[in-house]
Amino acid sequence: MTIVARRKPVLEAGSAWPGSVRLGWSPGSATARREAALPAGAGGHRGELLDVVPLARALLLTADQHRHLRELAGLPPPEPLPPEGDLLPRLQLLVDSAAPSPASVYDSHFDYLVWNEPYVRVRHDPGSLPAGRRNMLWMMFTDPGNRARMVRWESAARAVLSQFRAVVGRRPDDPRLAELVAALAEASPQFRAWWDEYPVRYFRPATIGIRHPRAGLITLQMFQLRLVDQPDLVAVIQVPASQASLARVNSLLVAAER
């Protein structure tokens, strides 16, 4: 997609053309090559040369075309579109299809959206948490049962906290995140002490152990997936790491059906 290619049909439709836009920019064009040769910090970044928001409006771009234009300009993608009405049923279908692996989806605040039956039987039932506290950080730091079941609770809790810290750093004015940090700091001395260390770490593959009171030791490999259409949402699939762990998960599911 080039700006020139879009200019003619837009003008024929009677739309205004922003006079400050520099025509002729496209990947591989002479303009793009000159801009790519600029040293870092010298100004002239493609995203600075093209004011992409009014440009996208002037070109009557679709949401996908706007996203593509930002990619060409080296800019982060636009804010995702609001979730459609059927989002939660779709997400529930996704986590249910992951069974017998425990699976859940949470949002940018680490608030649970959906989870499957294996998650309830092996890890925790988010539905049992108080209103406003159906949150992975809240479960990790305030639920003594979860802490007792985890073989290496501290390393897992530190990893989740570090991921949460990175999110808060990117969104310092988010009121929900600020409220969660304050509530967790009050409820958990461990959270408060580690938070002051300013830990930041992004997700890394890991294997966790759960000492289940009825099934015994269950080891789970952690996978984190992001939805392309809703990149703020994270799906976490916890796959049994051995045949023995898989059999123990299945035994819990069978017992729950009786």
pLDDT per residue over 27-38, tens digit each?
A: 555 544 444 444
For the residues 172-198, what does the mean pLDDT come to? Answer: 95
Residues 6 or more apart whose CB falls under 8 angstroms from that of 208 comprise: 150, 151, 152, 156, 219, 220, 222, 238
pLDDT of 12: 55
Query: Could you read off the pLDDT of 141-154 as tens digits, one per residue?
Result: 999 999 999 999 99
pLDDT of 61-88, one tens digit each? 777 777 677 777 777 666 666 666 689 9
Instruction: Name the residue with higher pLDDT: 24 or 220.
Output: 220
Average pLDDT value for residue range 100-121: 97
- Identify the structural domains of the chain with CATH numbers, from first to last: 3-72 (no CATH), 87-257 (3.30.450.180)
- Residue 102 CA to residue 116 CA, distance in Å, equals 6
- Within 10 Å of residue 229's Cβ, how many Cβ atoms? 12
| Top-confidence residue, 258 or 97 | 97
Tell me the pLDDT band of 26, cut-offs 50, 70 and 90: low
- Neighbouring residues of 210: CB distance < 8 A, sequence distance ≥ 6: 122, 123, 149, 150, 151, 217, 218, 219, 220
Q: Which of 101, 94, 120, 95 is nearest to 240 (CA)?
A: 101
Banded model confidence at residue 184, pLDDT cuts 50, 70, 90? very high
Report the predicted TM-score, pTM, of the whole model to 2 decimal places: 0.73
Q: Are 193 and 213 in contact (CB under 8 A)?
A: no
Half-sphere exposure of 134 (CA within 13 A, CB side): 14
Name the residue type at position 148.
A
147 vs 81, 96, 114, 159, CA distance in Å?
37, 25, 21, 14
